[in-house]
Amino acid sequence: MQLDFHTLDVFTPSRFHGNPLAVVSGADVLDAAAMQAIAREFNLSETVFVARPANPAHTARVRIFTPRRELPFAGHPTIGTAAFLAYADHGDGAEREAIVTLEEEIGLIRAGVTITPGKPLHAAFDAPKLATETGAPDRREDLAAAVGLMPGDIGFDNHRPTVFSAGVPYIFVPVRGLAALSRAQPVESLWRRGRFAEIGAAYLYCRETRDPANSFAARMFSPEFGMIEDPATGSAAAAFAGVAARFEALGGQRRVLAIEQGFDMGRPSLISLEMELVAGRLERVRIGGHCVIVSKGALTV
């Protein structure tokens, strides 16, 4: 038996940048063990398996796997899958906007896709959960050691380490600037203790950016997920909305932050984080970005 698959680069308008994604169609015939084995074979940060929806009014049922585990929700798979399904349905013959509804483990996600002939696909979705703080991180000294930095590299302005989740939890580690961000490397033996062992993913960020038009630069390490570093992490950006609401003087009712990621991997990515606030509290979070289809093939199962 053969199943069609496509790969896309997500959170980028250019091929061979951004975060690669594999999308496997016709996955109704696969069980979870087969999906996990295929995800290990692709060895990308995530592989998506597309099946018939439980509700025929929806577009598709999807399951998301890293090389080591299934995730209830992830941002770049949602962006890439929504864009691919809209393109597969409508093609690129004319400019149009489409709505894609995906049944993910976390719940139903509604994404808007823009198709413009001759240009990269663009998709955006409302985060299925608002960011909430989930306890305290480890001590600053332990955090620094686990990501190969010195304690003095941790923190800037009023930002301090926190733990937030918008469906997937992350340890958020503010660092002084791009130099510290580029020096960081996970020390895997130190990830088997404290909150690193529990959560398995750390998102390092700083205010200094390569492009002054952008808001933050970031890196995401997750050796326990089967990937040392992720080029672009939409679920972390959704949770980062909680960090921004906590430490930034956002003002107003709507803010859009542009987050650079993946530059130290040679996979430059850009994530749009749109937040709506009421009296300083998050009311809505939307993640968006471009993507491009890179390849297609048949998978023998």
278: pLDDT strictly greater than 90: no
Give the separation between CA 192 and CA 185, rounded to whole angstroms.
Answer: 15
What pLDDT sits at residue 280? 78
Give the separation between CA 85 and CA 245, rounded to whole angstroms.
Answer: 33
What pLDDT sits at residue 32? 98
What pLDDT sits at residue 282? 92
183: pLDDT strictly greater than 90: yes
Clarify whether 46 is annotated catalytic. yes
Percentage with pLDDT > 70 across the chain: 100
pLDDT per residue over 198-254, tens digit each?
A: 999 999 999 999 999 999 999 999 988 888 999 999 999 999 999 999 999 887 789
Computed over every residue of the chain, the mean pLDDT equals: 96
What pLDDT sits at residue 257? 97
Half-sphere exposure of 24 (CA within 13 A, CB side): 26
What pLDDT sits at residue 92? 78
CATH assignment, 2-126+290-300? 3.10.310.10
What's the average model confidence in pLDDT over 186-196? 90
Least confident of 81-90, 110-119, 278-287: 278-287
Give the separation between CA 261 and CA 202, rounded to whole angstroms.
Answer: 13
Homologous superfamily, domain 132-288: Diaminopimelate Epimerase; Chain A, domain 1 (3.10.310.10)
Phi, psi of 165 (to 5 degrees): -140, 140
From the CB of residue 189, how many other CB atoms can be counted at a distance below 10 Å? 8
62: pLDDT strictly greater than 90: yes
What pLDDT sits at residue 107? 96
The structural domains of the chain, with segments of one domain joined by +, span: 2-126+290-300, 132-288
Long-range (24+ apart) CB contacts under 8 A made by 253-260 are: 253/277, 253/278, 257/215, 257/216, 258/213, 258/214, 258/215, 258/216, 259/205, 259/214, 259/215, 259/216, 259/217, 259/218, 260/209, 260/210, 260/211, 260/214, 260/216, 260/217, 260/218
Residues ≥6 apart with Cβ < 8 Å to 248:
none
Same-fold call for 2-126+290-300 versus 132-288: yes
> Tokens standing for 288?
């968006």
Among residues 46, 103, 104, 224, the one annotated as catalytic is 46
Burial of 300 (0-12, 13-18, 19+ CB in 10 A): exposed
114: pLDDT strictly greater than 90: yes
What pLDDT sits at residue 251? 74
From the CB of residue 68, how many other CB atoms can be counted at a distance below 10 Å? 15
Give the separation between CA 129 and CA 295, rounded to whole angstroms.
Answer: 32
What pLDDT sits at residue 252? 73
